[in-house]
Chains A and B, each alone.
Chain A
Amino acid sequence: MVVTGVGVVSSIGTGADAYARGLREGRSGARPIEAFDTTGFAHATGCEVVGFDPELWLRRVPVAEAGRATQFAIASARMALDDAGIGEDGLRDRRGLVSVGTTDGGSDDGERLAASFVHDGPAAADPAAARRVPASRLATGVARDLGLADVEVSTIATACAAGNYAIGGGVDAIRTGEADYALCGGADALCRMTFTGFYRLGAVDPDRCRPFDVDRHGIHTGEGGAVLLLEPLDDALARGARIYAEVLGYGLNCDAHHQVAPHGESVARCMALALDDAGISPGDVDLISAHGTGTKANDVTECGAIHSVFGADGDVPPTVSVKSMLGHTMGAASALGAVACALGIDGGFIPPTINHTETDPECAVDCVPNTAVDAELGVVANNALAFGGNNAVLVLGRPA
């Protein structure tokens, strides 16, 4: 099964080409947050998508009925189809799956409703916003806007690993023959609640997001969307499609340990599950796109897990964090990571980990600091971890 189209809305570039350029140039999406009122916070830097116009992308779903994350999902899906050279009409006779991962879903609308209730009481009703709150709108919105009736839709709400979960759902539906194609990825909009939560936990870096750096202080919250079109290899070859990457496999597990602290042994198990599903060994992997949030705990735990899996079988491959450029885009994060991997395989480059000064000896990985490098990538692993102990690792390879 292969990736034949990608669509991206991100703070460093929208569309496959602009996103690839942003990754190669090591662009930073960080800027002062304008999406919500940041009064009272000592610092509020985030990776906001600026200048996104939903009217350009939404054709059937009225813009007022779609929350910002739904708009990102729809735009990303449309771009993925355009990129693949398939019109939506070309999909109508095929059974499909649309799966979109998200952390917050319609919570940006939900928190605005909550705030207006707190300040103005029950008189301040906004039925349209209330209808945008259920997170199922993200995946259903994609199907509705593309006019796809015969599709299995699911919005996967497995927090910050949701993108990889959604892609994995597409992989399995195609493997079992229940779907002929899958449009899958993730989307999230900047949400004051999420920012506030991470800020309160002391996990937002006041200056720069610098994963694996000895001076890292946390995440930058970000937003965006990414959708991949997956198809069986034979179908892609039959229509002469451009093939970015082959989907080799994925793994899922749960720490079953702690709500917010990841567990290295369990993360290592998940990577091993993914390699096993892909039928490869650790020595085959040329690049790890890490979860790499830039928090003290995540990076040291994840790197420890990487060393335990890959260290035993030779050198640990380069391990990068695209969150250094994009911030933590929550449910979109691992989908944006997966697209970065596919673009890296296709374009022959490794995206850098920017804002990097000195690697934390406790991380001890080659994070490809600050500048992208050219590389022939055969196999790439894309990690995702989430609160709740939810891990998901996706393995992509160069098409045969």
Chain B
Amino acid sequence: MTGAVITAWSAISACGIGAAAHRVAYGDPARRLRPTAVGEPVPAEAHVAADFDVTEALGPKGTSSMDRCSGLAVAAAADLLAPGERPQGHFGCIQRNQSAPGGIAPPSGIGVVLGTTSGSAQTQFDFTRESQTRSKPYRVNPALMPFALMNSAAGQTAIWHGLTGPNTTIAGGRMSGLSTLRYGARLLATGRADAVLCGAVEEYGPARQRLADQRKPDDADGRPLGEGGAVLLLEPAAHAPAGHVDPDRTDANRTDTDRTDANRPGGRVPLAELLGIDTRVAVDDDPAAALEVCIRRTLDRAGAAASDVRTVAVSGPPGPLAGAERDAVARTLAHADVRDPGEIIGDTGAATGPFQVTLLLDRPGLALTTAVDEDGTVGCGLLRVP
């Protein structure tokens, strides 16, 4: 038991903007878009979040040099904050400097924990290209620099929404979903935050495609890259009334926003309880065995039987690792319905983890999310969907 529950989510990807657009695509394969061809200088096919334009979504102020990772994070997080939790008039504070009156946002108990692979590869590439091609190596656009850092998305999310709680970036790669949920649950358990936005973002651009092409194992299945971000709102279970179950709810008419709960600050009912997370490092280069250990131990600790797990969402890493992940799931949870966000939105790298969770929320019962990263880490998270 982590003591934490997921109470809301939002996402941006090739499926569109917001949770509703994603539920439509998840529920109806006919509504999913095929990857589109992207051109020079690195030709490929990819699932780009074509509906998302940073400046269109956030306005022209403070966005002219903003990387797409940060834009995706700021926009996805906006959906999860009730108007009362977003300081009035705080949008645009990015334009203020220190000497301006008004100061900082009031202390907020909302933390931000975002995962990444290596930040905005495109911004880093553009910065290096300017340095390499201009008359002097320092004639770079100085506004790019903070957006090139890995913590830009989390920092921007705080700046735009006035969130002064803990603000952490975890470079977890494909483990980012599990890592941010575990870290976020610990912030709640230790009282460092009252609520945490947990998620991850991954932009699409030629720089990321170029890195992925070079990294790809020779026998990779060639799944197209995808772009997107998903953010989950994590809150302490203690806020929720004990044993609260909505008897009228069914899978078909379920939405995340049509129910309220007077005992919860944001008036939200849990979409899932986070029962446990376990990760390991496959030091013996047998990721399937390591993941199997994680799955069995997580079920044991939660007092759950493998047969109780109805749905599994896999992380779908490139190359033979995908097979290792599927093998571990097959050996432990052979009967479960296995879902893979990569089939819908492409390989969204670090963002895969939070997207996996969003795929599991429509079916009451126990659900498991697994992850395997190329760096040798594996893990799983167990959820109870009410």
Binding site for B on A (CB under 8 A): 39-41, 60, 102-103, 105-107, 110-111, 113-115, 117-119, 122, 125-127, 129-131, 133-138, 140, 143-144, 147-159, 162, 165, 169, 172-173, 175-176, 178, 192-193, 196-197, 199-201, 252-261, 263-266, 269, 297, 301, 386-390
Instruction: Tell me, in angstroms, the Cα distance from A261 to B99 when the chains sit together.
Output: 10
Check A254 against B183 for contact (C-beta < 8 Å).
Answer: no
CB distance from A70 to the nearest CB of B (A): 10
Q: For residue A157, which residue of chain B has the nearest CB?
A: B150
Check B128 against A266 for contact (C-beta < 8 Å).
Answer: no
- Given the known interface contacts A39-B137, A106-B118, the answer about A254 and B166 at a Cβ–Cβ threshold of 8 Å is yes
Instruction: Tell me, in angstroms, the Cα distance from A301 to B128 when the chains sit together.
Output: 31
Instruction: Tell me, in angstroms, the Cα distance from A257 to B132 when the chains sit together.
Output: 32
Interfacial residues of chain B within 106-123, with CB under 8 A of chain A in the complex: 107-108, 112, 116-119, 121
Q: For residue A255, which residue of chain B has the nearest CB?
A: B104
B158 within 8 A of partner (CB): yes
Contact residues of A: prevailing secondary structure = mixed
Tell me which residues across on chain A come within 8 A of B145, comparing CB atoms.
197, 200-201
Instruction: Tell me, in angstroms, the Cα distance from A200 to B281 when the chains sit together.
Output: 40
Top 3 nearest A-B pairs by Cβ distance? Answer: A388-B155, A135-B171, A254-B167
Check A193 against B97 for contact (C-beta < 8 Å).
Answer: no
- Given the known interface contacts A140-B377, A153-B281, A157-B150, the answer about A118 and B175 at a Cβ–Cβ threshold of 8 Å is no
Q: For residue B212, which residue of chain A has the nearest CB?
A: A130
Check A150 against B172 for contact (C-beta < 8 Å).
Answer: no
- Given the known interface contacts A114-B129, A156-B170, the answer about A263 and B215 at a Cβ–Cβ threshold of 8 Å is no
CB distance from A289 to the nearest CB of B (A): 21
Check B375 against A134 for contact (C-beta < 8 Å).
Answer: yes
Binding site for A on B (CB under 8 A): 41-42, 93-94, 96-98, 103-105, 107-108, 112, 116-119, 121, 124-125, 127-129, 131-133, 136-140, 142, 145-146, 148-152, 154-156, 158-159, 161-173, 175, 179, 182-183, 186-187, 189-190, 192, 207, 210-211, 214-215, 279-284, 290, 373-377
Q: For residue B130, which residue of chain A has the nearest CB?
A: A196
Check A157 against B119 for contact (C-beta < 8 Å).
Answer: yes
Tell me which residues across on chain A come within 8 A of B104, comparing CB atoms.
255-257, 263, 265-266
Check A114 against B171 for contact (C-beta < 8 Å).
Answer: no
Tell me which residues across on chain B come within 8 A of A258, comparing CB atoms.
94, 96-98, 159
Check A252 against B192 for contact (C-beta < 8 Å).
Answer: yes
Instruction: Tell me, in angstroms, the Cα distance from A315 to B264 when the chains sit together.
Output: 44
CB distance from A48 to the nearest CB of B (A): 18
Check A155 against B186 for contact (C-beta < 8 Å).
Answer: no
11 further A-B contacts with Cβ under 8 Å, apart from A107-B118, A136-B377, A200-B138, are A114-B125, A131-B374, A136-B117, A149-B290, A158-B151, A253-B164, A256-B162, A257-B159, A258-B98, A259-B159, A263-B98
Tell me which residues across on chain B come within 8 A of A119, comparing CB atoms.
132
- Given the known interface contacts A103-B149, A149-B283, the answer about A256 and B189 at a Cβ–Cβ threshold of 8 Å is no
Tell me which residues across on chain B come within 8 A of A200, comparing CB atoms.
138-140, 142, 145
